[in-house]
């Protein structure tokens, strides 16, 4: 088992923090906003990548928005 598989296994076994996906979403948006005004293109690109990863994790990760969307009529098609 490689390190990524062990990390995923740990993540699925740990108890959830209440509101974890909202905290992750706020962190992602915060990184976007903080990095977008930086004069360095490298910092802006890194901030965009990190913010996108955090927002994606909030939307699709463990106990994320995708699980809540299943209760909506459109969300029934989600797996």
Q: Give Cβ neighbours of residue 66 (< 8 Å, ≥ 6 apart).
A: 59, 60, 75, 78
User: pLDDT tens digit string along 21-63?
Assistant: 888 899 999 999 999 999 999 999 999 999 999 988 887 766 5
In a domain, 32, yes or no: no
30 or 11, greater pLDDT: 30
Total domains present in the chain? 1
In a domain, 56, yes or no: yes
Residue 28's pLDDT is what? Answer: 94
In a domain, 53, yes or no: yes
Helices (H), 1-79: 3-13, 20-35, 41-60, 65-69
50 or 77, greater pLDDT: 50
């Amino acid at each position: 088992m490689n390190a990524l598989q062990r990390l995923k296994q740990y993540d699925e076994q740990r108890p959830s923090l209440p509101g974890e996906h909202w905290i992750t979403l706020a962190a992602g948006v915060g990184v976007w906003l903080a990095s977008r005004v930086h004069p360095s293109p490298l910092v802006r690109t890194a901030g965009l990548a990190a913010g996108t990863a955090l927002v994606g994790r909030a939307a699709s990760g463990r106990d994320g928005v995708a699980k809540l969307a299943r209760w909506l009529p459109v969300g029934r098609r989600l797996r």
